[in-house]
Structure 1
């Protein structure tokens, strides 16, 4: 077994070799053979299940300033009735969505649901899609160094990549995944792109471009959301457009890690944080009497307090000393000005 301390070097070596166009070797493993014709055919079939997604958002939407009013990405057809999974931020607060299939047909799509915890969104085509749905695999079965394909909409949307790591990801916008998928080289059109195994199974959905694909590996990559996260929530999204369980406590802030605790880098207007007196530049060092050292610890302590609407005590670090602040959390879903279709 390869020592964990050597993995960053081995991953970097494999990625640099791949980028140079040479055959890639897995550490302490035989060289991977070229993909057989059956595997190439499977990924090509999966490519046909990838559609272009274009969403139109009102200028008054909460996310209009940061995400824009016209957003584009990809989505993957996952059932025979035209159900499409995509990255949620493309369709968040959208008043209208259209999709374009692999044949170039453009049609309207309805928003089925959105889940803030996973970041996934669902659409349904309003016309029949003559395409075989992409079969869903399991991201949890991916191995480091495994060859995969990132597929975005368009004839030039397919790109070979390596699965680098599965690890925790904490975003600055009150978002965290216990296990995200990191791949490289990054796809230039990552939003909503499908990640497929060599046998054409969908295992993740493209979310972000990251500067370091793994700790200690100075190579860019994509962070992707495991499709495994869709299975437990699919029934609720189809029936309700959202999760049936109560939402997590939400403040409406962006944060980044500080030498001690986390620092507030943005406070959303009319958010629980703004109403409670939290300000740009405030340093949060504790939640409900428990110290925090980093972003994941901050989120876990916040979310452990109960459901959205619970009162939370924060400990702030100021030049004059520590200060306690109590505020009532909110529901992110209700804060957003969602479209009428979900």
Structure 2
């Protein structure tokens, strides 16, 4: 009976989520209704969102997982600068932008920031579009009302910021306080997330199955907060990378096992993990002799050992036998083909 109740409740919540996910057009407000965004910020937001089309080499590592041709959204944040989600630009050979007037604008990858997951495109000809100011993603109230706009959409969609729960991606990616929103929307890849003054506060990254972490999962979207970009932005624009040591990377895609440890789902070719003999089907049990609890625990402790190039010891179970594997981490950028333009 309890299982049936949860099933029905999930179905109801999902129906409500889909019903809420309708574009809210501030320009179509009825007499007496409140317009969702002031006219000037709304106009700037509408013309700042562009389509991003990229193409990578067919033999590139990321083409096997992300596809050779990718399409998503970007947001104009400077005279010749567009902010988007980084996975659209990994190992890209060419990048084109299409603005709200249908103009095709050639661009180059300026930076892919593996720590935040954000990417920057510099255009090869003037954009002639007003840049959107960056808001303060740290001060957003939760719950709170926000708006998203993706490529080819005619009006922003109203969202609710519902949580800032930690997100750990299986591909060695950690966000301590992402922006989790409801209802779930489909056009999220690189989409802009805006506050009530039309300031950019986040960039769309993922559709997640659980925005709260409760027993009854509720699907929504994860947006990367723009405050993660503010400090490194001058360096990313100038040199294409952050200053200082790189974040350590092993080349392991993994997930937590109910019985304990992390199951290895994929190992990147020629990565430190691959060269150390770690393979799909292995289980990661411990780091530096201490048992691994979950992905956030793994990533935090890995980073605490030092930057890329630091030595570490993993306890790995393979075919029922445990062994200790000692090797050096590396910078993930060294395993990727340098995008055209950087």
Corresponding residue number in structure 2 for 1:162: 160
Provide the rounded CA distance (Å) in 2 between the counterparts of 1:236 and 1:159: 33
Is the Cα–Cα contact under 8 Å of residues 15 and 185 in structure 1 kept in the other structure? no
Is the Cα–Cα contact under 8 Å of residues 276 and 328 in structure 1 kept in the other structure? no
1:57 lines up with 2:41 in the alignment: no
Corresponding residue number in structure 1 for 2:305: 305
1:104 lines up with 2:102 in the alignment: yes
Corresponding residue number in structure 2 for 1:29: none
TM-score, structure 2 as length reference: 0.87
Is the Cα–Cα contact under 8 Å of residues 254 and 264 in structure 1 kept in the other structure? yes
Corresponding residue number in structure 2 for 1:182: 180
Corresponding residue number in structure 1 for 2:315: 315
Corresponding residue number in structure 1 for 2:8: none
TM-score, structure 1 as length reference: 0.87
Is the Cα–Cα contact under 8 Å of residues 36 and 196 in structure 2 kept in the other structure? no
Instruction: State the 1:278 CA deviation.
Output: 0.6
Is the Cα–Cα contact under 8 Å of residues 179 and 225 in structure 2 kept in the other structure? yes
Summarize deviations over 1:139-188 as a string: whole Å, max 9, x none: 11222231211111214363221111112110000000111011111221
Is the Cα–Cα contact under 8 Å of residues 256 and 262 in structure 1 kept in the other structure? yes
Is the Cα–Cα contact under 8 Å of residues 43 and 198 in structure 1 kept in the other structure? no
Summarize deviations over 1:108-131 as a string: whole Å, max 9, x none: 012111110100110122222232
Summarize deviations over 1:6-27 as a string: whole Å, max 9, x none: xxxxxx99997675569xxxxx
1:148 lines up with 2:143 in the alignment: no
Provide the rounded CA distance (Å) in 2 between the counterparts of 1:48 and 1:251: 40
User: What's the C-alpha RMSD, in Å, of the aligned pairs?
Assistant: 2.3
1:75 lines up with 2:85 in the alignment: no
Change in 2 beyond 3 A, CA 1:332/1:13: same
Corresponding residue number in structure 2 for 1:3: none
Change in 2 beyond 3 A, CA 1:21/1:170: closer
Is the Cα–Cα contact under 8 Å of residues 163 and 180 in structure 2 kept in the other structure? yes
SS at match of 1:219: coil
Provide the rounded CA distance (Å) in 1 between the counterparts of 2:93 and 2:153: 28
Change in 2 beyond 3 A, CA 1:14/1:47: farther
Aligned length: 320
Gaps of 5+ in 1: 1-11, 23-32
Match of 1:93 among 88, 91, 94: 91
Of 305-314 and 47-56, deviating more is 305-314
Change in 2 beyond 3 A, CA 1:39/1:247: same
Is the Cα–Cα contact under 8 Å of residues 165 and 211 in structure 2 kept in the other structure? no
Corresponding residue number in structure 2 for 1:327: 327
Is the Cα–Cα contact under 8 Å of residues 52 and 154 in structure 1 kept in the other structure? yes
Change in 2 beyond 3 A, CA 1:330/1:42: same
Corresponding residue number in structure 2 for 1:293: 293
Summarize deviations over 1:186-230 as a string: whole Å, max 9, x none: 221111000011210100000001112221253211111000001
Is the Cα–Cα contact under 8 Å of residues 13 and 218 in structure 2 kept in the other structure? no
Provide the rounded CA distance (Å) in 2 between the counterparts of 1:212 and 1:21: 17
Provide the rounded CA distance (Å) in 2 between the counterparts of 1:118 and 1:305: 19
